[in-house]
Amino acid sequence: MIIYLHGFNSSSSSSKAQLCKKYLNDKGIGDKILIPDLPLSTDKVVNLVEILIRENEIVGFIGSSMGGFYSCYFANKYNVKGVYINPVVDDHLTGMVNIVGSYENFNNGKKDTFSMSDYKNLKKYSTPTLTFPKNHFLLAQEGDEVLDQRLSLKKFKESKIDLSENGNHQFENFVDKIEQIFDFLL
């Protein structure tokens, strides 16, 4: 089973998550991916994913943005493969205190809060050292307007990297990378 973790204040209906699901459906293995709706609370995300891990045999993670941060934590902790799409990495955290606040999810309209405690708890899930760097695959676009992907390149320097010029945080032409993602994971 693969777990896809969406970005901050996104949902399971995000375009990248649904493109991954469609790809696996077209291969006849659409039941091999879990795409949970994540709360904003750091500890609630971790608790939810830990339950999914206990209930399923996990072979890898895909994560976008903040979902990439969590996916890296779990892939590293459980020694499985992880794919990260314009991810948040440890070195981004110091500049992200401005995400503390209340939000309405732009996909499903649900309201949620990311507290200062949630922000501080992110550091508990940092991965300063990748135990098996070859288990990690970074997809980054230089044009990411939200995150400095040079920090991601530094973190994953010993891992598989696909760096695109230009692009944006949403990750332009993501559909063109899906086969490469699942070739790495499966």
pLDDT 10s digits, 72-103: 999 999 999 999 999 999 999 999 999 999 99
Residue with tokens 């063109």: 176
Burial per residue of 125-158, b for 16 or more beta-carbon CB atoms within 10 angstroms, e otherwise: bebeebeeeebbbbbbbeebeebebebbbebbee
Q: Dihedral of the CA atoms 65, 101, 10, 78 (nearest 10)?
A: 50
pLDDT 10s digits, 41-78: 999 999 999 999 999 999 999 999 999 999 999 999 99
Domains parsed from the chain with CATH numbers: 2-185 (3.40.50.1820)
pTM for this model (two decimals): 0.96
